Structure 1
């Protein structure tokens, strides 16, 4: 029950208080830490008490030595029993109690919950980034930065809080206790503090700088390794294992060198601090013995001074590693911020309404899009797709067909012009609501590494098993789903498909994708080479299902095999981002333009097309 209370102090899945995380280090820290400030305030208070108790124990040690010297053996417990009892209470009850509270706050409250709160909010933010964001980076590197940033931020914050009181309390209380014995005992410690601060001031910025570089190299290495694993089939097909090893080796060599450079600074700092500590122990102990020989301090003061400087020696080594760890983690956070804190390029307006589709009319009005290049791709394009009309988009590679689909889905924002669906500007409605109204089957079907059921439920999350089977039947996926199994013994709808669906054939993946869109039943349908991975027999078998799927919907179909879209209501031929020609198959053949030339280059025809 006690553990549970502390584990529930931080709500892991609380929404982020602001849209984008800050882009500079300290605001980035505060963005997350202020959400859990009560836990850190409690940790500060408990840390103060723990540090005071530790110092009090050393003070007790000197006190016991002096009492033992000045009191007859037979009267020791009689005269000092109450004081000894309070010492026992501090050592046996208060010290374990507050150390236990400290551990509960760190290990039950902050470590698991704050780490995953940061990961959750960063993942939620990054998940809504534009398609271009993910296309411009390694998926593995993005994931690693999400994971390591949460851990590094939490670790450095806890270390800073823990070390704060130890440094302040030990330094101040030691000076006070030394001064009470003899002011001259303060001198070695004062000089050591000055030297220690100078050493930290010199080395810490260098540790931070080199840690950032080392973290960047580590992310680069992770990205290259994950990229190789993700594309392992290509690597095997082209027999480029040695090439891939060289690609990873280059990044590993860079990461090793950067880590070694950071290690040089740490080693140098360690040697200097250890030397300063040796001087502190020798000078303080020697001075205490000399003062005792002059009868200026007691034996208890020698025990106190020696015990404290040895404790300070151990603490300074710990503080050095803590400070090194703090700034190494800050470097990791800075590296992660490069990915996490990037502003979103495609955003919803505040309180954007949901798209309402009654008919499914689509208008593209004078749209321009150039992927930020200034020209090319799509220039001043106008297109009107009537409600329920089925059009085919045709054109050579690079004509802008896929880009047009991306813009309709608002995976990118237009540079100028507007796209209207039933008179509503898609830039002014919520993105999620727009994509809910559009079903799409792509040429490169990528499935989630989950079960067949989970993949199908993406189309309709509340679908029943009966609906799943009906969609699978219409997509001709019912032929192979019952035969599927995975390494964990799961079968049928529960079988997992592997990363990106690699355990299924291309045709099987395509049929699962079609079944998913059948379940979604959106009023606007996009088919991007929807039957490209199917053999002719299977394609013919599901054509009837596709015809059923397209009934009553506005359809945009892209295909390089012109025979598959020749019977659409209208064909729109794109060339260099412009509409080169438009009409029915027969009209375009008679026109003798680009479409006619493309048709002639392809063999075969389409059943029912004259």
Structure 2
């Protein structure tokens, strides 16, 4: 017996607490590895730029010492050190040139890695189960991906190509100071670096929780806004514009308070950093000035020390900003990598083969299922849809009819029993091949915010215009489309809201007919149509199902009266099965539903006549 996968739902990674920074960086390395040679070249340009930058103060010292002549010295006319000036300008140019070359070479790395990870997240989200997508918050999810993709570019650029060269520059400067002067300059610089680093790390670690709180509140506010806009009509139906505005403003206000906390702690961090840097600057310049006064140092030495201090001051100050940015980027990446680590609830078995449909016989064998262990939906359901035949499943709302379609598509795995196609357990074949073999007209049709032609053609990528129009004719929607000003280029709007329920359903029928699979599912396929169109399309659906295996899920019994077999579900159990005539003769649940619906139809017809 197979162990059910549907009850083993993995927790969201964020529920287990934040991961360490090293875990996040470890997840990032595979995306950078394909660009290792390009990264190496960029590093070479980077170190060349830093070497040129550190050489500038040394050259400046020689330039100043060369100008230290007394008035009237006959060498004054020749002392203009053209070579030194040109070398100084060349080093400045080389610094900029190598920096731009680094950016040019490295651009492909950051943009390419961002593209790869965004694509991988997108693919992974489509591979996750239906349960995840029913529970997700679209606004917050899109915000996490957007922030994560942007953070990846920042993190890679900052960590590999700014922090590392800044540390190299600091080491070079320390080496020059220790070699040309005494160790006091080195110890002052090292003490300042140590104090600066400890203070920055400690305060930034403390501030990270405020950034994480900001992310959560930002996602929550964004989710509320997106949810309200997606449900625009519902908001209008109940005059709840102000309610939604208040809910959104509550989210924005909470986000504002979190921003204020973050900004306050940022100001504290900046003040502390500047105090440490200012103290080290005063100590270094005081020591160099004393050296000039005592005659141990030249004026050029003082200028060189000052230039080194300026060069160290800028990257050191920037290093604090970088560390904050890196920590914030890691926090932003954390949630996106959490999505990637979300395990699939329904996954292909290792080495699973593709499904090859020969006849198309579908069997439900003792199938049990529950979305939640405390609320079983199906109980030991067994029936067969013979190859080339049409079997209907009927029953009251909540009986589990649509769940059968979801299980056959393998959006979930059964809790007990199995489902087979031509004798193959659908859990033993690839999901892609399974779904290629099945077409469905769902009960609730959702369309892409694109053209009518695109939505119909979605049934089979690469279908010709003639094939798309042929499917539209079969679904009795070609006339409507042709009557619109833009025809098949008419945009249907978000989730197809520009179309009526019946028009959306006919588009869904058309794209399923275009797919033309061997197995078809009609889940209340005509529930949104008027009687005249329903009869016309029923004939088309019957023709489309000719020679195919068809599972019809219906509420209106009149639409399935000619099915080869009718299965009646009640409370997730099969209570009756047989042909329409046999079930009426049995005078059981099916017959009672039939009489009830016929009575309702007669009452409706009589009411309509009396109002004429």
Is residue 266 of structure 1 aligned with residue 266 of structure 2? yes
Is residue 538 of structure 1 aligned with residue 533 of structure 2? yes
Checking the alignment, whether the CA contact within 8 Å between 1:152 and 1:333 is kept in structure 2 is: yes
Is residue 494 of structure 1 aligned with residue 489 of structure 2? yes
Aligned residue number for residue 63 of structure 2:
64
In 2: Cα distance, 1:146 partner to 1:37 partner: 25
Checking the alignment, whether the CA contact within 8 Å between 2:59 and 2:84 is kept in structure 1 is: no
The within-5 A match list for 1:29-68 is 29-68=28-67
Aligned residue number for residue 597 of structure 1:
592
Q: CA deviation at 1:396?
A: 1.9
Q: CA deviation at 1:574?
A: 1.2
In 1: Cα distance, 2:123 partner to 2:307 partner: 51
In 1: Cα distance, 2:250 partner to 2:518 partner: 50
User: CA, structure 1 residues 439+233, in 2 after alignment: closer, same or farther (shift >3 Å)?
Assistant: same
The Cα offsets for residues 353-387 of structure 1, whole Å up to 9 and x where unpaired, read as 22111211111122222124255112222222211
In 1: Cα distance, 2:296 partner to 2:478 partner: 95
The within-5 A match list for 1:421-500 is 421-485=421-485, 491-500=486-495
Q: CA deviation at 1:70?
A: 6.0
Aligned residue number for residue 201 of structure 2:
201
Aligned residue number for residue 3 of structure 1:
none
The within-5 A match list for 1:62-461 is 62-69=61-68, 74=75, 82=83, 84-92=85-93, 94-106=94-106, 108-179=107-178, 180-373=180-373, 376-461=376-461
Checking the alignment, whether the CA contact within 8 Å between 1:390 and 1:554 is kept in structure 2 is: yes
Q: CA deviation at 1:412?
A: 0.9
In 1: Cα distance, 2:213 partner to 2:77 partner: 62
* Structure 2: segments with no counterpart, 5+ residues: 1-12, 603-612
In 1: Cα distance, 2:304 partner to 2:292 partner: 13
In 2: Cα distance, 1:605 partner to 1:270 partner: 75
In 2: Cα distance, 1:588 partner to 1:138 partner: 45
RCO higher in structure (CA 8 A, sep ≥6):
2
In 1: Cα distance, 2:560 partner to 2:600 partner: 11
User: CA, structure 1 residues 227+605, in 2 after alignment: closer, same or farther (shift >3 Å)?
Assistant: closer
In 2: Cα distance, 1:37 partner to 1:202 partner: 33
**Secondary structure class of the residue paired with 1:602:** helix
Q: CA deviation at 1:31?
A: 2.9
Aligned residue number for residue 562 of structure 1:
557
| Greater displacement, 578-587 / 228-237 | 578-587
**Secondary structure class of the residue paired with 2:478:** coil
Q: CA deviation at 1:606?
A: 9.4
In 2: Cα distance, 1:90 partner to 1:517 partner: 68
User: CA, structure 1 residues 382+89, in 2 after alignment: closer, same or farther (shift >3 Å)?
Assistant: same
Checking the alignment, whether the CA contact within 8 Å between 1:363 and 1:419 is kept in structure 2 is: yes
* Structure 1: segments with no counterpart, 5+ residues: 1-19, 486-490
Checking the alignment, whether the CA contact within 8 Å between 1:563 and 1:606 is kept in structure 2 is: no
| Greater displacement, 595-604 / 554-563 | 595-604
Q: CA deviation at 1:550?
A: 1.6
User: CA, structure 1 residues 77+222, in 2 after alignment: closer, same or farther (shift >3 Å)?
Assistant: farther
| Greater displacement, 316-325 / 203-212 | 203-212
**Secondary structure class of the residue paired with 1:376:** strand
In 2: Cα distance, 1:226 partner to 1:375 partner: 31
Q: CA deviation at 1:190?
A: 2.3
Is residue 573 of structure 1 aligned with residue 600 of structure 2? no
The Cα offsets for residues 550-573 of structure 1, whole Å up to 9 and x where unpaired, read as 211111111222222233221111
In 2: Cα distance, 1:340 partner to 1:222 partner: 21
The Cα offsets for residues 458-508 of structure 1, whole Å up to 9 and x where unpaired, read as 2222322222222111111111111334xxxxx111222111111111111
Is residue 521 of structure 1 aligned with residue 516 of structure 2? yes
Q: CA deviation at 1:73?
A: 7.0
User: CA, structure 1 residues 259+337, in 2 after alignment: closer, same or farther (shift >3 Å)?
Assistant: farther
Q: CA deviation at 1:255?
A: 2.1
Checking the alignment, whether the CA contact within 8 Å between 1:396 and 1:575 is kept in structure 2 is: yes
Q: Which consecutive aligned stretches of 4+ in structure 1 deviate over 4 angstroms post-superposition? A: 70-73, 75-85, 604-607
In 1: Cα distance, 2:539 partner to 2:53 partner: 80
| Greater displacement, 361-370 / 78-87 | 78-87
**Secondary structure class of the residue paired with 2:296:** coil
| RMSD of aligned alpha carbons | 2.4
The Cα offsets for residues 18-66 of structure 1, whole Å up to 9 and x where unpaired, read as xx9x984122212322233333333332222222221111222222112
Is residue 586 of structure 1 aligned with residue 581 of structure 2? yes
**Secondary structure class of the residue paired with 2:159:** helix
In 2: Cα distance, 1:165 partner to 1:358 partner: 61
Aligned residue number for residue 606 of structure 2:
none
User: CA, structure 1 residues 64+144, in 2 after alignment: closer, same or farther (shift >3 Å)?
Assistant: same
**Secondary structure class of the residue paired with 2:380:** strand
Could you state the TM-score of these two structures normalised by the residue count of structure 1? 0.90
**Secondary structure class of the residue paired with 1:342:** coil
Q: CA deviation at 1:300?
A: 1.2
In 1: Cα distance, 2:157 partner to 2:114 partner: 11
In 1: Cα distance, 2:127 partner to 2:164 partner: 41
**Secondary structure class of the residue paired with 1:387:** coil
**Secondary structure class of the residue paired with 1:371:** strand
In 1: Cα distance, 2:38 partner to 2:258 partner: 36
Q: CA deviation at 1:207?
A: 3.0
| Greater displacement, 207-216 / 328-337 | 207-216
Q: CA deviation at 1:85?
A: 4.4
Checking the alignment, whether the CA contact within 8 Å between 1:61 and 1:303 is kept in structure 2 is: yes
The Cα offsets for residues 385-423 of structure 1, whole Å up to 9 and x where unpaired, read as 211221211122221111111000001112232111011
* Residues paired across the two proteins, number: 580
User: CA, structure 1 residues 144+77, in 2 after alignment: closer, same or farther (shift >3 Å)?
Assistant: farther
**Secondary structure class of the residue paired with 1:355:** coil
In 2: Cα distance, 1:252 partner to 1:450 partner: 32
| Greater displacement, 308-317 / 239-248 | 308-317
Q: CA deviation at 1:534?
A: 0.8
Checking the alignment, whether the CA contact within 8 Å between 1:362 and 1:422 is kept in structure 2 is: yes
Checking the alignment, whether the CA contact within 8 Å between 1:65 and 1:300 is kept in structure 2 is: yes
Checking the alignment, whether the CA contact within 8 Å between 1:68 and 1:76 is kept in structure 2 is: no
Aligned residue number for residue 3 of structure 2:
none
The Cα offsets for residues 120-176 of structure 1, whole Å up to 9 and x where unpaired, read as 122122222111111111223223322321221121121112322343233222222
In 2: Cα distance, 1:149 partner to 1:76 partner: 62
